[in-house]
């Protein structure tokens, strides 16, 4: 099955995955924030808050938020870097980027730049950013290793990568509940609230196909990062990986 990759539990042509993912996010963009709040019981805000607290970002820093969607992280980074810093909110999906632009405007956040890009080919010079973040986006990237290498390239020495992503829980009980919730409740809620059951079925499947904590840590190190550690959140349902380029 050369030149194929996974799209949820399906095997698809590698070249097709990007457009399939794009279709998913085109269809959920307008309800994205609402669905995040409902499906995670608001916990996604705490996970993102923890990510920002772990970022080590300061005044005048340059920050790139990949797959930034509605801009939750970019808003907080903007507050941290101040007017002398630079925050770029990026996404491969134009509909998500537009939602981000609307969201920031509605919240009175200005000074954030918007760039539509593919994480596998970042249009920036080497050694440019003090921090790169990607929250709930890496699992949708077709070639994750290539994306991690690109992120490593554009980070300055002494800067960090933050990957906030669904992961694997070791708790048997939690896993049972989570599996039931993911495959039985989440798609139904997606159907009721966003009128899109299939996209939330994909969400559940894509989470299961994403590398576990240790595998992702090794991928980060293989991409060139000198250090990488991860912190499990909510029992490992989500993990924050922090890679350091020295």
Partner 1 sequence: MQSFAIFWHKQAVILERALNHLVINSRVNIDALNGKTIGLSLQDLPLDVHFICANNRIFVLSATDKSTDVDIKLKSMIFISLLQGEDLTELLRQDKINIHGDAKTAQLLVDLLKEVDIDLEEMASKHTGDIIANQLGKLTRKFNHIGTQSNNPFKIIKDGLSTLLINPIKSKRYKHKNS
CB 20 within 8 A of CB 10: no
Task: Pick out residues in 139-158 that bind partner 1 (CB under 8 A).
Answer: 156-158
CA distance 53 to 164: 13
CB 24 within 8 A of CB 32: no
Q: Is 83 in the site for partner 1 (CB under 8 A)?
A: no
Task: Pick out residues in 226-245 that bind partner 1 (CB under 8 A).
Answer: 226-227, 229, 231, 242, 244
Among 56, 120, 146, 212, binds partner 1 (CB under 8 A): 56
The CA-atom distances, in angstroms, between 184 and each of 96, 176, 181, 189 are 26, 12, 5, 9
In the complex, minimum distance from the CB of residue 243 to partner 1, in angstroms, rounded to a whole number: 10
- Cβ proximity to partner 1: between 101 and 231 the closer is 231
CB 50 within 8 A of CB 240: yes
In the complex, minimum distance from the CB of residue 223 to partner 1, in angstroms, rounded to a whole number: 16
**Which window, 142-150, 184-192, 204-212, 222-230, contacts partner 1 (CB under 8 A)?**
222-230
The CA-atom distances, in angstroms, between 165 and each of 81, 216, 241 are 24, 10, 8
Enumerate binding residues for partner 1 (CB under 8 A): 49-50, 53-54, 56, 58-59, 130, 156-160, 226-227, 229, 231, 242, 244, 246
């Amino acid at each position: 099955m050369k030149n194929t990759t996974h799209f949820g539990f399906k095997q698809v042509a590698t070249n097709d995955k990007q457009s399939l993912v794009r279709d998913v996010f085109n269809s959920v963009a307008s309800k994205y924030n609402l669905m995040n709040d409902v499906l995670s019981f608001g916990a996604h805000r705490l996970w993102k808050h923890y990510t920002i607290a772990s970022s080590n970002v300061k005044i005048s820093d340059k920050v790139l938020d990949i797959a930034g969607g509605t801009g939750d992280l970019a808003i907080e980074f903007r507050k941290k870097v101040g007017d002398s810093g630079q925050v770029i909110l990026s996404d491969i999906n134009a509909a998500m980027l537009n939602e981000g632009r609307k969201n920031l405007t509605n919240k009175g956040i200005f000074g954030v730049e918007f760039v539509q890009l593919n994480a596998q080919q970042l249009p920036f010079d080497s050694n440019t950013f003090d921090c790169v973040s990607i929250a709930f986006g890496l699992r949708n990237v077709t070639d994750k290793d290539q994306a991690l290498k690109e992120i490593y390239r554009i980070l300055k020495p002494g800067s960090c990568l933050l990957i906030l992503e669904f992961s694997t829980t070791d708790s048997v009980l939690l896993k049972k509940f989570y599996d039931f919730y993911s495959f039985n409740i989440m798609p139904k809620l997606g159907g009721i609230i966003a009128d899109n059951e299939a996209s939330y079925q994909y969400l559940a499947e894509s989470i299961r196909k994403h590398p576990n904590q240790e595998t992702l840590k090794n991928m980060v190190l293989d991409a060139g990062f000198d250090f990488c550690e991860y912190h499990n959140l909510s029992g490992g349902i989500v993990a924050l990986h922090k890679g350091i380029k020295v």
